[in-house]
Chain A
Amino acid sequence: VKIQEADAKSLLRAEGLPVPGWELARTPEQVREAAQRLFAGGADKVVIKAQVLVGGRGKAGGVKLAGSPQEAYEVGGRILGMDIKGIAVRKVIVGRAVDIVKEYYLGAIIDRASCRIVLMASAEGGVEIEEVAKTNPGAIHRVAAHPELGLLPFQARSLGLAIGFRNSLLNQFVAIAQGLYATMKANDADLVEVNPLGIVDGPGPDGRPVPTLLCLDAKITLDDSGLGRHPALEGMRDLDEEDPTDAQARKLGINFIHLDGTIGCMVNGAGLAMTTMDLVKHYGGSPANFLDVGGGARHEVVCGAMELILADPNVKAILVNIFGGITRGDEVAEGIIEARRSQSRVVPMVVRIVGTNAEEAARLLREAELETASSLDEAAEKAVAMAKGAAQ
């Protein structure tokens, strides 16, 4: 689950990280009021940032400065009316704009290769890290946290030194890096990014400016498998940005991604579901969805999945591809037959069930007079032909 910047910042703050304040606003009026409070508090400028779960919002015009409450109202209104990469902007955050002396990148991820949490840092901050990885991979420095002891201070220091921090900034960096690691652990996150981590001139004890590190943007994704033990985080799932089918799929415990083709797919296993989509394309069709019913799917899940597929009016044909292992073919067949009986609209369907209890499944499907296929290639070809026939 990806969460919004504002929620990510709350989680960082909860671990004691230096994150400047913000207010969430859903209307231009709320933007103006938030800006008024900031200007009254001594701000020279405010920054207004779209809250959307896609990258590149800055380039798309979703991050703007304003010099007065009225300007904030106007800018906020424009951003709130925007559509960024197909997602309508429904909320923004308003915060005090700061003069950034230099931008850095700091991120924590779960690294598959080393089976560790790896912290990455770069002095090339403020741009997408994927871009840096491509153009200047040497600028990204990493340390792997100890599997039990976590991110040790010496590791954080070496990372900070590698990207050029010295003196007070080094100590600030160490605290922030350890806070990032703590945020990851506390929330079962699989990614925590601060980009930019900015140096700003903060007020020193004698009134002279002192370089201070601040977390100016935050991105967190949560491990779906860990969500069960963090009930409070479930509320950070942004329902505004979800497809209406997402909640239904979640309730069924299946993995569903809506696409724009005409062939509805129901498959068990993510890899096989992707392969089924690939073969539908290979044979000249286009998939209407990615749907993994998961392992051990029972017939009520199959019925629910079928309803999800049929809820998409673009679906002209359905391809069911089940390779039973932990999933039992006969249970899926029963679900399909039951769903077929009760569904509101009937579209052509081809069913392929092989593996565990396939013979029983074949008997059930034969009795129900459903179109079957023995190989995946055959099933894909038939589904493509069905969708084309239905479209004519």
Chain B
Amino acid sequence: VSVIVGADTRLVVQGITGREGEFHTRAAMAYGTKVVAGTRPGKGGQKAIDGRVPIFDTVAEAVSAAGANTSIIFIPAAGAPDAIMEAIDAGIKTIVCITEGIPALDMIPVADAVRAAGARLIGPNCPGATSPGKAKVGIIPASIHKPGHVGVVSRSGTLTYEAVQAMTDAGLGQSTCVGIGGDPIIGTTFLDVLKLFHDDPETEAIVMIGEIGGTAEEEAAAYAAANLRGVPMAAFIAGRTAPPGRRMGHAGAIISGGSGTAADKIAALEAAGVRVADSPTQLPALLRGAGYRG
């Protein structure tokens, strides 16, 4: 049993007929993910992906007729909040929203509805999640993964790939890799994923990839200090040399009195016993230095 996605994942692709939807559905299927349905209002009854995946008009039909239990959303920003709400309404409990550019104010009531429904939303504006060897729900390239026991969680997209590649190159396989997304309002935070990894028997070590702005890394560090002392853990924070003031970050940080700088985040992580790398390629060595023998 893996966290977020795994062998029991039965995926519906919302927006399966679009350019990205189709491309990444093929990649997910090639990886062995069970894609049971796609949706495209107006094309219900047709088939996608060379006749291999049935198309439905609604997510509810994908659930009732094809047994979908997880959704991935490749729908443009204007329609993405509706797509998330539709998935919740159909009873889907794991929703991965790849879409970027959703206005933050649109996501506030959606995030609230996700929580109220007891569902889990990954993203938006995220690369999704892969449990290597089991299921790939997202756009993380398949080739960089290797099955194993390191949980990887990251706030950014392509930097996640960099970290995963570094692990695989060093022979360290992954239990689950999750990109939580970089938008102000996201469904699942570092903290949420760390809790999942903490309870996951498949995950024996953790890599966390953060960046400047906000205070999510500090919150994760506080959790790690209290709950993950025995778990080998390494981190990387992007943006040490970023010019201040050019990215919003301080407004989020005001809430807790933090500054959102890389230096503050690194200090918080190190104080929590988490080793912080200068380059993503150092992450495997830091995990081994923290006692990981995987």
Residue A340 at the B interface, CB < 8 A?
no
- Name A135's closest neighbour in chain B (CB-CB): B257
With A226-B105, A325-B127, A376-B281 known as contacts, the answer to whether A269 contacts B157 (CB < 8 A) is yes
Q: Are B251 and A190 in contact (CB under 8 A)?
A: yes
**Distance between Cα atoms of A274 and B261 in the complex (Å):** 13
Residue B102 at the A interface, CB < 8 A?
yes
With A130-B254, A133-B254, A147-B109 known as contacts, the answer to whether A115 contacts B103 (CB < 8 A) is no
Q: Are A278 and B255 in contact (CB under 8 A)?
A: no
Q: Are A278 and B127 in contact (CB under 8 A)?
A: no
Q: Which residues of A contact B240 (CB under 8 A)?
A: 278, 281
Q: Are B103 and A188 in contact (CB under 8 A)?
A: yes
Residue A295 at the B interface, CB < 8 A?
yes
Q: Are A115 and B112 in contact (CB under 8 A)?
A: yes
**Distance between Cα atoms of A269 and B211 in the complex (Å):** 12
Q: Are B242 and A290 in contact (CB under 8 A)?
A: yes
Q: Are A375 and B159 in contact (CB under 8 A)?
A: no
Identify B215's interface contact among A113, A268, A270, A355, CB under 8 A: A113
Taking each of A117, A130, A267, A295, which has the highest tally of chain B beta carbons within 10 Å of its own beta carbon?
A295
Q: Which residues of B contact A50 (CB under 8 A)?
A: none
- Name B183's closest neighbour in chain A (CB-CB): A225
CB of B35, distance to nearest CB on chain A (Å): 17
Identify A110's interface contact among B105, B127, B243, B257, CB under 8 A: B105
Residue B29 at the A interface, CB < 8 A?
no
Q: Which residues of B contact A221 (CB under 8 A)?
A: 248, 251
Residue A13 at the B interface, CB < 8 A?
no
Q: Which residues of A contact B27 (CB under 8 A)?
A: 356
**Distance between Cα atoms of A118 and B209 in the complex (Å):** 27
CB of A318, distance to nearest CB on chain B (Å): 18
Q: Which residues of A contact B24 (CB under 8 A)?
A: 326
- Name B243's closest neighbour in chain A (CB-CB): A259
Residue A323 at the B interface, CB < 8 A?
yes
With A225-B101, A278-B238, A355-B141 known as contacts, the answer to whether A272 contacts B250 (CB < 8 A) is no
Residue A111 at the B interface, CB < 8 A?
yes
- Size category of the B interface is 35 or more
Q: Are A281 and B161 in contact (CB under 8 A)?
A: no
**Distance between Cα atoms of A198 and B104 in the complex (Å):** 30
Q: Are A325 and B140 in contact (CB under 8 A)?
A: yes
Residue B58 at the A interface, CB < 8 A?
no
**Distance between Cα atoms of A112 and B215 in the complex (Å):** 9
Residue A194 at the B interface, CB < 8 A?
no
Q: Are A134 and B257 in contact (CB under 8 A)?
A: yes
CB of B274, distance to nearest CB on chain A (Å): 18
Taking each of A142, A267, A270, A358, which has the highest tally of chain B beta carbons within 10 Å of its own beta carbon?
A270
| Binary per-residue interface labels of chain B (185-217) against chain A in the complex, 1 for a CB within 8 Å, 0 otherwise | 110010000000000000000000101101110
Q: Are B219 and A324 in contact (CB under 8 A)?
A: no
Q: Which residues of A contact B77 (CB under 8 A)?
A: 225
CB of B279, distance to nearest CB on chain A (Å): 6
**Distance between Cα atoms of A281 and B262 in the complex (Å):** 15
Residue A369 at the B interface, CB < 8 A?
no
| Binary per-residue interface labels of chain B (161-175) against chain A in the complex, 1 for a CB within 8 Å, 0 otherwise | 110010000000000
Q: Are A324 and B141 in contact (CB under 8 A)?
A: yes
Identify B104's interface contact among A225, A296, A325, CB under 8 A: A225
CB of B117, distance to nearest CB on chain A (Å): 13
- Name B281's closest neighbour in chain A (CB-CB): A377
Q: Are A271 and B281 in contact (CB under 8 A)?
A: no
Q: Which residues of B contact A111 (CB under 8 A)?
A: 252, 255
**Distance between Cα atoms of A8 and B80 in the complex (Å):** 29
Q: Which residues of B contact A226 (CB under 8 A)?
A: 103-105
Residue B280 at the A interface, CB < 8 A?
yes
Q: Are B182 and A296 in contact (CB under 8 A)?
A: no
Residue B144 at the A interface, CB < 8 A?
yes
**Distance between Cα atoms of A279 and B159 in the complex (Å):** 13
Identify B20's interface contact among A120, A275, A326, CB under 8 A: A326
Residue B267 at the A interface, CB < 8 A?
no
Identify A190's interface contact among B154, B248, B257, CB under 8 A: B248
| Binary per-residue interface labels of chain B (220-258) against chain A in the complex, 1 for a CB within 8 Å, 0 otherwise | 000000000000000010111111011110111011110
**Distance between Cα atoms of A272 and B179 in the complex (Å):** 13
Residue A366 at the B interface, CB < 8 A?
no
**Distance between Cα atoms of A201 and B254 in the complex (Å):** 31
CB of A303, distance to nearest CB on chain B (Å): 20
- Name A295's closest neighbour in chain B (CB-CB): B100
9 contacts between A and B (CB under 8 A): A147-B108, A226-B103, A269-B158, A270-B247, A271-B158, A275-B159, A323-B165, A324-B141, A355-B158
Q: Considering the complex of A and B, which 6 residue pairs feature the smallest CB-CB distances, nearest first? A: A271-B156, A269-B158, A271-B159, A226-B103, A147-B112, A274-B238
Other than A275-B279, A325-B140, give 4 A-B pairs with Cβ distance below 8 A.
A117-B105, A274-B239, A275-B236, A281-B240
Chain A interface (Cβ within 8 Å of chain B)? 54, 109-113, 115-118, 120, 129-130, 133-134, 137, 140, 142, 147-148, 184-185, 188, 190-191, 221, 223, 225-226, 229, 257, 259, 267-272, 274-275, 277-279, 281-282, 287, 290, 295-296, 323-327, 354-356, 358, 375-377
